[in-house]
Structure 1
Amino acid sequence: MLNNKLKAVLVLEDESIWHGEGFGFPCKVAGEVVFTTGMVGYTESLTDPSFKGQILVMSYPLIGNYGVPPYNLKDKWGLPKHFESYNIQVKGLVVSELCDYPSHPYSIKSLNKWLYEEKIPGIEGVDTREIIKRIRKKGAMMGILEVSDEDIDTEKLLKEIKNVKKYDEIDFSKEVKDEIKIFENKGPTLILIDCGVKLSIIRNILERGFRVIKVPYDTSYDEILSFKPLGIIISNGPGNPKKFIKTIEITREIIENKIPTLGICLGNQIIALSLGGDTFKLKYGHRGQNKPCIELINYSNYITSQNHGYAIDPEKLKGTGLEIWWINADDKTIEGIRHKELPVIAVQFHPEASPGPYDTTFIFDIFKRLVDKHA
């Protein structure tokens, strides 16, 4: 039963304490505290598997005003229209102000009720601007969020935060593992290596005519080959890319055998690692829908949707056969790579958007032409 008089405390790794009002499900969770700059799209963001293991701070001050639509509102492919997976992926939610009375023709429940049903805690009435400024200055930190109808022992939380396992050390690969699933279509077969894929990636592949076979992150190269795919897509996903050891090994075999390959987000990092490159953790990551990126062939600038906390080290690309294709207009980190000789491309941003601008959906068209050329 929903309780509208919950207490909530967020404690960060730097021992800062944030008191607020609780919503969602009363419980205690630990996770990496990160922020997103998106004004809208909270149903897509909260269900994005790349946020697994993280407590998400929303920078926009009012969240929940258009409510939550039903999961069974689906597209022609049978995929939910307004969600990126079939459940909330974040560990907890932090907002400045929660809207209790949403208004939208598709809304069937409030954000508060949705979080309660999926057992996710939330805190409101805190200075999210100050929290984000702190993260930008000190870097992403681990945190503990507790929501309760009783008084919360902050001293106990301060002791517990010292023993919370670092996000960098957690292996999320087994948490995102799913069974093989086939999405029938009239065109040729693509294999989608699922490291925590967003449903909109599947939708964009299907819209370009491909038959999609989604396989777990650790599916062997021989099994992948048994499906006779004309191309491979390595998906987004949560956590440290170096923890996806099996996927890195499989990707190396795929590239060596000249199968057209597209990497998205985590997939971009995995491709670099598979060919001898390296990755590093960003200070506070890129998360939002307004991230400018420059495509280096035509020097065109695009606004992209992003959700990542790691990046490729440009100095370690030497000898890999890869070259920089895209860069971030703000901090100049790598936002895309391509192979100089083989049919391999990858982007760090999310061309499928959802949420965010659709300016770079043409990445899927480029990959389609790559597959057609090497068929």
Structure 2
Amino acid sequence: MKKAYLLLADGTLFEGKAAGYEGCSIGEVVFNTGMAGYQEVLTDPSYYGQTVCMTYPLVGNYGINFDDGESKKSWVSGYIMREMCEYPSNFRCQKSLDAYLKEQKVVGLQGIDTRRLTRILRNSGVMNGVIYTEGHEPDEKTIEEMKSYVVKDAVKSVTLSETEVHPAQGERKYRIGLMDFGVKYNIVRELCKRGCEVTVLPGFTKAEDILAAGYDGIMLSNGPGDPAENVGIVEELKKLIASGLPIFGICLGHQLMALAINAKTEKMRFGHRGVNHPVKDLDEDRTYITSQNHGYAVVGDTIDPAIARVRFVNLNDGTVEGVEHIGKPIFTVQYHPEVCPGPQDTSYLFDRFLENIDKHKGGQF
């Protein structure tokens, strides 16, 4: 087995063994603390432009199947593991992780001290890095490119180019327009199983076209990159807010909605990526364990209290985890209520979204 390496922007070098596709790949190095769900991580568009280090020491033990992906392909720039299981064992397994990484041309690295790497990222913050397989060593130009690397045009790179319609399971009760900023399939599934016909719209769809379609409610998806980069989308969201339609935003959708009410976002030191983040509902004085994947956060004290209020906060660092608009059927959350695998206690938020639609139809908003 060939050697492989990770070179960080601060000059730290890790030596390990090659995994997956052989080559050289630049990305923003981040870590995920989930004990399971590596297939969902690999296929989550929110990881576009990032090299993901899994902190759980054994990855790939239940293989890859054709049902659990969150999109049609892998979006990560690179993948780092302590140990990759070469002989997966699960009745649903249809291929090995190694085979999948090769198929998706994801450069992988295994056999390094992932705990040490995670500590570096926690202490110094996320930083750029280059993974390369023996025989694919980066030249000086590539190293300079790595050091100056910035994730750009993220939503443009992952969003749909054409509209997709997903039928409701059973009787159709609602028509939902879902803006795709990097949507995960499970958001669509959660809506469809509740009787929603879901039209997935390209992320740059104009508000006028969305409103003309006559949807009962608007869903804003997760996605990658710096939310402040999406100036045009934010302007369209301002029009959707003014329409009074029920809106539910998740992750990047939450951040973009905050920008649309003139709040601010900021890049976090190392972000939240995993399935064990405690979030408190300030209204109900109740704490949920949630799944998260984000590197930016809404700055709470920039939210105008006349427009919206913070309802959910992270109990680890106090960051904003959810916002509720005053007098409008609009709310957003930073975490993922649709997650699989992971805690599913907050899936009730989809029901709350549909309740808002019913109230809006009944003239209660």
Quickly name the TM-score band, shorter chain normalised.
Answer: over 0.9
Tell me what 1:326 maps to: 312
Equivalences for residues 180-219 of structure 1 within 5 A: 180-185=163-168, 186-219=172-205
Tell me what 1:166 maps to: 150
> Aligned with 1:146: secondary structure?
strand
Tell me what 1:175 maps to: 157
1:142 to partner: Cα distance: 0.8
1:207 to partner: Cα distance: 1.2
Tell me what 1:306 maps to: 292
1:226 to partner: Cα distance: 2.1
Query: Cα gap change, 1:18/1:342 in structure 2, threshold over 3 Å: closer, same or farther?
Result: same
Counterpart CA distance in 2 for 1:320 and 1:112 is 52
Kindly provide the amino acid, as one letter, of the partner of residue 198 in structure 1: K
Could you list the per-position Cα deviations for residues 241-281 of structure 1 after superposition, in whole angstroms to 9, with x for gaps in the alignment? 11222221111101111011000000000111001111000
For residue 225 of structure 1, the aligned residue among 200, 211, 232 is 211
1:111 to partner: Cα distance: 0.5
Tell me what 1:60 maps to: 56
1:221 to partner: Cα distance: 1.2
Aligned length: 357
Tell me what 1:369 maps to: 355
> Aligned with 1:116: secondary structure?
helix
TM-score (norm 1): 0.92
Matched, 1:336 2:332: no
Could you list the per-position Cα deviations for residues 282-337 of structure 1 after superposition, in whole angstroms to 9, with x for gaps in the alignment? 10000000111000101100000000000001121025601001000100100000
Counterpart CA distance in 2 for 1:175 and 1:67 is 28
* Bigger mean CA deviation after superposition, 178-187 or 339-348: 178-187
What are structure 1's unaligned runs of at least 5 residues? 72-80
Counterpart CA distance in 2 for 1:364 and 1:96 is 36
Kindly provide the amino acid, as one letter, of the partner of residue 292 in structure 1: P
Kindly provide the amino acid, as one letter, of the partner of residue 166 in structure 2: F
Could you list the per-position Cα deviations for residues 189-209 of structure 1 after superposition, in whole angstroms to 9, with x for gaps in the alignment? 110000000000000011111
> Aligned with 1:166: secondary structure?
coil
Contact 1:291 1:303 (8 Å CA) reproduced: yes
What are structure 2's unaligned runs of at least 5 residues? none
Kindly provide the amino acid, as one letter, of the partner of residue 152 in structure 1: E
Equivalences for residues 77-88 of structure 1 within 5 A: 81-88=67-74
Kindly provide the amino acid, as one letter, of the partner of residue 180 in structure 2: D
Tell me what 2:8 maps to: 12
Could you list the per-position Cα deviations for residues 6-57 of structure 1 after superposition, in whole angstroms to 9, with x for gaps in the alignment? 2211111111111110011111111100000000011111100000110000
Kindly provide the amino acid, as one letter, of the partner of residue 231 in structure 2: I
> Aligned with 1:33: secondary structure?
strand
Counterpart CA distance in 2 for 1:84 and 1:209 is 20
Root-mean-square deviation (CA, aligned residues, Å) is 1.4
